[in-house]
């Protein structure tokens, strides 16, 4: 396995702070276990005029809390940034950040498993960053305070009437 996060020494990675998926990057986590410190989070960044939004794909992997010290904690979860006034289509070239969770993946023990927005300094949702896309299928959301949080999103323009492109199908939500 080629794992740049831990030099190829295994499929378990420990994250102390955060993982940022910058605009223009497409990152796939496959066949891994990532364990997060309680203050740690994942941020999928929205794009710019020149770059499409960041894209994080999770396949057959587990994202959970690092409970080596205490077993009753939660990590922060995944924020997917977007623009509330821009289209999400075409998905292949949108400025909205995207999270794809597929193929028997597990998102566990997070405050918010995934949220289509950015949180600000006081940990509340910032509506200026709504519009991120979350797509999940055939996966499990286990023992999160809140599994998936989608924000109000509906863009009407001269060219199209776009509804939210986020989709959640054939998942298990377990508490």
β-pair partners for 106: 62, 140
For the four alpha carbons of 57, 16, 66 and 12, in that order, the dihedral sign comes to: positive
Query: The whole model's pTM is what?
Result: 0.91
Q: Whose CA is closest to 60, among 84, 31, 97?
A: 31
Sequential pLDDT tens for the chain (175 residues): 455 555 555 789 999 999 999 999 999 999 999 999 999 999 999 999 999 999 999 999 999 999 887 778 999 999 999 999 898 988 999 999 999 999 999 999 999 999 998 887 777 888 889 999 999 999 999 999 999 999 888 776 656 667 889 999 999 999 9
Contact between 129 and 82 (Cβ < 8 Å):
yes
Position 73 scores a pLDDT of 93
Sign of the alpha-carbon dihedral angle for 112, 147, 72, 34: negative
pLDDT at 157: 62
Nearest-angstrom CA–CA distance, 89 and 115? 19
Neighbours of 36 (CB within 10 A): 27
The per-residue pLDDT for 1 is 43
């Amino acid at each position: 396995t080629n794992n740049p996060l831990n030099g190829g020494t295994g499929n378990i990675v420990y994250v102390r702070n955060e993982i940022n998926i910058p605009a223009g990057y497409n990152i796939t986590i496959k066949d891994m276990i990532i364990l997060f410190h309680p203050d740690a989070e994942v941020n999928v960044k929205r794009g710019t005029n020149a770059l499409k939004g960041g894209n994080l794909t999770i396949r057959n992997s587990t994202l959970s809390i690092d409970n080596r010290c205490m077993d009753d904690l939660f990590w922060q979860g995944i924020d997917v940034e977007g623009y509330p006034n821009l289209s999400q289509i075409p998905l292949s070239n949108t400025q909205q950040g995207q999270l794809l969770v597929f193929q028997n993946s597990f998102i566990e023990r997070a405050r918010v498993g995934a949220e289509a927005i950015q949180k600000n300094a006081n940990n509340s949702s910032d509506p200026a960053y709504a519009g991120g896309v979350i797509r999940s299928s055939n996966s499990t959301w286990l023992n999160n305070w809140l599994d998936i949080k989608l924000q109000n999103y509906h863009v009407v323009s001269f060219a199209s009437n776009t509804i939210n492109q986020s989709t959640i199908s054939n998942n298990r939500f377990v508490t």
